[in-house]
Every structure is written in structure tokens, then in C-alpha cells.
Amino acid sequence: PAVLLLHGPNLNLLGERDPAQYGTTTLADIEKRVTNLGADLGADVVCAQSNHEGVLVEQVHAARSMAGIVLNPGAFAHYSIALRDAVDAVDVPCVEIHISNVHAREEFRHRSVIAPVAQGYISGFGVDGYDLALRGVLLRAAGTR
Ligand code: DQA
């Protein structure tokens, strides 16, 4: 099965951006790690990142033929109804992930408009959260839970 690993705005700067919050792992490191875990689990991981809402919407649409989506929407989690509707529109399980524990941060990060239409939600495990998200979405894709 193919899984889309999709990152939203500012996550291309991972590694240099606010390391106290997000650590020093780069986006390329994360993509490599998830791709390798995918290979171990028999899944093809397709990686994409954009800083543009409409591009992210189109990337979610393009995942219609895939088995699942692992999505770190960045700040769009908190207010993009368009991205939420895209996730809702495609019949593909989506796990939302945040590297930081958004609930321990500013109040405006506490709400996700995407979480209600996602299969599940992971926040606060740092980059280890991506392993959990990939495993979760593959379990769901296989219909085993
Ligand atoms: C983030 C949390 C968001 O609130 C923030 O806007 C990000 C990163 C995370 O992975 O912890 O860009 O999605």
C-alpha cells in the first residue's frame, strides 16, 4: 500500500526552527525515517510538503488512490476548514500528527479543525510520533482495527 506523508507550512524549516519545541531533526531526516519504516512494513511512503493551503488540498485529493495519509498540517490544523474538508472528502484514513504537545502550548494551538475528521491524532511524542502515526494508519488501512 502507498501512504502519503504530508507536511504543511514552515515544516520545511525543521532542524533550524525552534529546536526547543521541535528538536533538531530535519524534514529530510523524518521523510527518510518514515520511508524506511514503511519499507519494513511493506508500505510505499510518498513524501510531500507545501507552505500553501491550496497545494496541500490538492495533495490530499491526489491521495484518493492511496491507502492512508500521515498529515502534519502545521498551523493549518488550527484554522484551515479547506484542508479539513479535503481530508473529509477523500475516503482515506488520515492520522494527524504534531511533533510538539500542542496542548501544553498557546491556547490557539489547542484546537484542531482537522482532528474530528481524522482517524486519529498524535501530539507530543516528538519525531517518534511519525512511527506511531504510520503504524496506526496502516492498521486502519488493513482494516484490522
Ligand atoms: C506543529 C504544531 C503547530 O501548532 C505549529 O503551527 C507547527 C508545528 C507540530 O508539529 O508540533 O507548525 O504542527
Residues contacting 143, CB < 8 A, separation 6+: none
- Nearest CA among 7, 26, 143, 127 for reference residue 70: 7
- Check pocket membership of 7 for ligand 1, CB cut-off 6 A: no
Amino acid 145: pLDDT: 45
Amino acid 26: pLDDT: 97
| 11-24 per-position pLDDT tens digit | 999 999 999 999 99
| Yes or no: domain 2-141 corresponds to CATH 3.40.50.9100 | yes
Domain ranges of the chain: 2-141
DSSP-derived letter for residue 121 is E
* 112 marked ligand binding residue: no
Catalytic residue annotation: 22, 98
Rounded mean pLDDT for each run of 10 residues along the chain, 145 residues in total: 98 94 95 98 98 98 96 98 98 97 98 98 98 96 68
